[in-house]
Amino acid sequence: MSAAEARRRPILRMIAGRLGIGVFTLFVISVLIFLAVSLLPGDIAQQVLGQSATPETVAAFRRELGLDQPLAWRYLDWVGGVLSGDFGRSLANGRPVADLLAARLGNTLFLAAYAAVIAVPLAVGLGLLAALWRGSWFDRIANVATLSAISFPEFFIAYILMFWLSVRMGWFPSIADPGASPRLAEMLGRAFLPAITLVLVVTAHMMRMTRAAVVNVLGAPYVTMARLKGVSRWRVVTRHALPNALAPIVNVVALNVAWLITGVVIVEVVFVYPGLGQLMVDSVTNRDIPVVQACALIFAAVYILLNLLADVLAIATNPRLLHPR
């Protein structure tokens, strides 16, 4: 076995271990989702059919939904359908749940990508500048601004932006529904306010982590030696400090991107954006249990997958793991 293979083997074992933990976590979450929905008060069949339905009709509808089966059997039937790509049918309109998810998931991914394209370079850039000018007025203002952004909940930021940029200024629409087949420019314009809301929420976490990671590396002896040799501060940060601070930065960036996808529920509801979060809230209101279960499972799977990606990237960018002594 070569030296390169010997170095890769522990890393591959760690990645396989993270993957196994992710699969087990998703299984536990699927059980919790199914139990939480099953233990909701009231009769789902009665709620869907209404109070005027006869007991015979309710009983027949319960058999059709499989509610007369044992809980464990219903869970296995649901998981088996999910593994085969069948999430069932919506109780509200009879459409396949997979079709509803496909129509909304793309919008949520577009909004998350829109926000990430703005937030990641902005946060890393601000973090580098704050570390470079540590203790300056810029550093103090950036820290106050980021702490303020972290302190406010996203719905508060959303309503403030809507009031000023939509109601008062009229620059952007307050409702972010892009329509059936919009052009890219129209989608970007209508999704700007929800995207900026998400940017303000996640930029603070990424900026502060970038600053902390770079400042920590700047205290290392090799950085001090580079400074003594006359290397400029900017070159020290970009060529020496940043590469060695990538592991925590990449980790927090991946975690915040995961939050962008799974934490958009409130923002989508505020701006009436037709994404997966809005679909989930509407389905909870309508007691559309198959759609609620599917949305919750999709959010959990995406979050676990991106957390796994964050762990893998943190391992891949850690020089101590890649080049052990």
pLDDT digits 0-9 by tens, 113-171: 999 999 999 988 888 888 888 888 888 888 888 888 878 888 888 888 888 888 888 88
Q: What is the pLDDT of residues 251-275, one digit of tens each?
A: 888 888 888 887 788 888 888 888 8
Give which of 129, 317, 315 is closest to 215, Cα–Cα. 129
Supply the pTM of this predicted model: 0.83
Give residue 89's region: left, alpha or beta (phi > 0; psi -120 to 50): beta
Sequence spans of domains, the chain: 105-314
Report domain 105-314's class. Answer: mainly alpha
Please write the tens of the pLDDT for every residue from 53-89: 777 777 787 777 777 777 888 888 888 888 888 888 8
Give the residue among 320, 265, 219, 274 at the shortest CA–CA distance from 106.
274
What was the pLDDT predicted at 323? Answer: 56
pLDDT at 42 exceeding the cut of 80: no
